C-alpha cells in the first residue's frame, strides 16, 4: 500500500502530510509546556515571599554549557537536512550523527546536574521550586531521549531509504528536525526561567 | 529548492548559530545586572523571545515556508496559550487566595 503525500504536496493543504502532522503535534506540545510554564508562574507568584533564590540551588555554568550544546545540535540537525537536499549523503550522516552525540552529551550533563542536586539533599519533594524544576527539566529530558531514539532509527536506516526514496527520507529528516528545533526552543525558554530569574 | 537556494540558507543557519551563542552569553550576563525582579523577568523573556524567533523562523523555516495553514495552526495555539496564562492571572482574584477564607 502506498502512503499518499509523503513527498508530494496535498492539493488542499499544499504541504506534504507529515509536515502538517508534525506542526499539529508541536502545537499540542506548546500547550503541554505552556501549561507547565503557567504552573511555574502560579507557584512562584503565590509564594513570592518564600521562593528560594533559584541561582543558589542550581548550577548555572553547567546549564549554560548544556544550552550551547543544544543550540549546536539544532544547527547540526538543520545542516543534516540541508546536506540531504544537496544530495551529500556523507555529510548528512556526519551532521546527523553529531546531532545525536550532542543530544546524549546534554542528557549526560543533565544527569550530573541531578546527581549534584540529590547529593545536596535537594529533591522534588524539598520545595515547590525544586518540584517544578525537576518536573519541567525531566519532561524536557524525556523529549530529548525520544528524539535520540527516533534519530538513531533514522541514522541506521537512512542508507536504505536514500537508495529507494531519497525525497521521502529528506522529508522525514525535515520532520525530525522540526521536532528537534522545538525541543531546543523549549530549553531556550526553560533556561532563563528556571536558572536565571 | 535549488542548490543555490539551499547554500544561501546554509549561510543564514551559520549566522543564526553565531547570534544564538552571543544571545546565550548576553542572557547569562544580563541576569547578573540588578534591575529588580520584574525588570529581570522582562529582559530575560525578551532575549528568549528573540532567540526563539530566530530558531522558529530560520531553522524551522517559518520565515520562508509561506504556507498559510501552518501559521493558522500556530496562531490558534498562541491564542490558547494566552488563555492559559490569562486564566492563571484571573485566579489570583478568587476566594482561595484570601488569607482567612476559613470554613465556608
Q: pLDDT by residue (tens digit) across B18-38?
A: 999 999 999 999 999 988 888
- Among A57, A63, A27, smallest CA distance to A141 is for A63
Answer yes or no: is pLDDT of A86 > 60: yes
Mean pLDDT (whole number) for A30-44:
93
pLDDT for residue A13: 86
Q: Do A31 and B48 touch (CB under 8 A)?
A: no
Q: Is any Cβ of chain B less than 8 angstroms from the Cβ of A34?
A: yes
Mean pLDDT (whole number) for A44-65:
92
Q: Is any Cβ of chain B less than 8 angstroms from the Cβ of A15?
A: yes
Residue partners of B70: CB distance under 8 A and separation at least 6 = A15, A19, A20, A23, B62
Sign of CA dihedral B34, B39, B43, B45: positive
Q: Do B13 and A192 touch (CB under 8 A)?
A: no
With 0.90 as the threshold, say if the pTM is over it: yes
Q: Are A102 and A74 in contact (CB under 8 A)?
A: no
Mean pLDDT (whole number) for B55-70:
90
How big is the A-B interface in CB pairs under 8 Å? Answer: 111
> Whole-angstrom Cα distance, residue B47 to residue B42?
9
> Whole-angstrom Cα distance, residue B2 to residue A130?
49
Sign of CA dihedral B33, B35, B41, B43: negative
> Whole-angstrom Cα distance, residue A155 to residue A150?
9
| Preferred mutation among B32, B57, B70 to probe A, highest tally of A CBs within 10 A | B70
Q: Do B69 and A15 touch (CB under 8 A)?
A: yes
What H or E segment, with its residue span, contains residue A172?
Answer: helix A166-191
In Å, how far from its chain's centre is CA B37? 19
pLDDT, mean over chain A: 95
Q: Which of A9-13, A99-103, A144-148, A171-175 has the lowest mean pLDDT?
A: A9-13
Answer yes or no: is pLDDT of B94 > 80: no
Percent of chain A whose pLDDT exceeds 90: 89
Listed by number, the residues of chain A in 82-141 with a beta carbon closer than 8 Å to a beta carbon of chain B are 82, 85-86
Question: What is the pLDDT confidence band of residue B90, given thresholds at 50, 70 and 90?
Answer: confident
Q: Are A74 and A180 in contact (CB under 8 A)?
A: yes
Q: Is any Cβ of chain B less than 8 angstroms from the Cβ of A69?
A: no
What's the ipTM? 0.90
Question: What is the pLDDT confidence band of residue B103, given thresholds at 50, 70 and 90?
Answer: very low
pLDDT for residue A49: 87
Q: Is any Cβ of chain B less than 8 angstroms from the Cβ of A31?
A: yes
Q: Do B24 and A55 touch (CB under 8 A)?
A: no
Answer yes or no: is pLDDT of A67 > 90: yes
pLDDT for residue B1: 60
CA angle at residue A64 from A194 to A97, to 5 degrees? 115
Q: Which of A1-15, A106-120, A178-192 has the lowest mean pLDDT?
A: A1-15
CA angle at residue B28 from A194 to A146, to 5 degrees? 50
> Whole-angstrom Cα distance, residue B94 to residue B52?
34
Chain B CB contacts of A194 below 8 Å: none
Q: Which of A11-15, A148-152, B11-15, B54-58 has the lowest mean pLDDT?
A: A11-15
Answer yes or no: is pLDDT of A96 > 90: yes
Answer yes or no: is pLDDT of B98 > 70: no
Q: Is any Cβ of chain B less than 8 angstroms from the Cβ of A16?
A: no
Q: What is the DSSP string of A52-121?
A: --HHHHS-HHHHHHHHHHHHHHHHHHHHHHHHHHTT-HHHHHHHHHHHHHHHHHHHHHHHHHHHHHHHTT
Answer yes or no: is pLDDT of B104 > 70: no
Mean pLDDT (whole number) for A93-109:
98
Q: Do B69 and A20 touch (CB under 8 A)?
A: yes
Instruction: Give the chain A residue nearest B59 (alpha carbons).
Output: A78
CA angle at residue A136 from A28 to A141, to 5 degrees? 85
Q: What is the DSSP letter of A124?
A: T
Q: Is any Cβ of chain B less than 8 angstroms from the Cβ of A21?
A: no
Q: What is the DSSP letter of A6?
A: S
Instruction: Give the chain A residue nearest B91 (alpha carbons).
Output: A42
Amino acid at each position: 500500500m502506498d502512503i499518499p503525500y509523503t513527498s508530494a504536496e496535498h492539493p488542499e493543504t499544499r504541504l506534504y502530510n507529515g509536515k502538517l502532522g508534525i506542526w499539529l503535534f508541536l502545537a499540542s506540545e506548546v500547550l503541554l509546556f505552556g501549561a507547565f510554564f503557567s504552573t511555574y508562574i502560579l507557584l512562584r507568584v503565590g509564594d513570592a515571599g518564600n521562593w528560594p533564590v533559584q541561582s543558589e540551588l542550581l548550577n548555572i555554568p553547567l546549564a549554560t554549557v548544556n544550552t550551547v550544546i543544544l543550540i549546536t545540535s539544532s544547527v547540526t540537525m538543520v545542516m543534516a537536512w540541508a546536506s540531504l537536499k544537496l544530495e551529500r549523503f556523507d555529510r548528512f550522516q556526519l551532521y546527523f550523527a553529531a546531532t545525536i552525540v550532542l543530544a546524549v552529551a546534554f542528557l549526560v550533563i543533565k544527569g550530573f546536574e541531578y546527581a549534584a542536586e540529590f547529593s545536596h539533599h535537594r529533591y522534588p519533594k524539598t520545595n515547590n521550586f525544586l518540584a517544578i524544576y525537576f518536573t519541567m527539566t525531566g519532561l524536557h529530558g524525556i523529549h530529548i531521549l525520544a528524539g535520540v531514539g527516533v534519530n538513531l532509527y533514522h541514522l541506521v536506516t537512512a542508507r536504505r531509504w536514500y537508495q529507494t526514496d531519497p525525497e521521502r527520507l529528506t522529508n522525514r529528516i525535515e520532520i525530525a528536525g522540526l521536532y528537534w528545533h522545538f525541543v531546543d526552543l523549549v530549553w531556550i525558554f526553560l533556561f532563563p526561567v528556571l536558572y536565571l530569574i | 529548492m535549488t542548490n543555490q537556494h539551499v547554500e544561501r540558507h546554509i549561510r543564514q543557519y551559520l549566522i543564526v548559530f553565531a547570534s544564538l551563542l552571543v544571545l546565550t552569553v548576553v542572557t547569562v550576563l544580563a541576569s547578573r545586572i540588578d534591575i529588580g525582579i520584574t525588570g529581570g523577568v522582562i529582559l530575560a523573556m525578551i532575549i528568549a523571545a528573540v532567540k526563539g524567533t530566530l530558531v522558529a523562523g530560520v531553522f524551522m523555516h517559518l520565515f520562508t515556508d509561506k504556507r498559510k495553514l501552518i501559521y493558522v495552526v500556530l496562531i490558534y495555539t498562541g491564542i490558547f496559550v494566552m488563555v492559559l496564562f490569562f486564566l492563571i492571572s484571573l485566579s489570583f482574584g478568587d476566594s482561595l487566595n484570601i488569607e482567612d477564607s476559613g470554613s465556608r
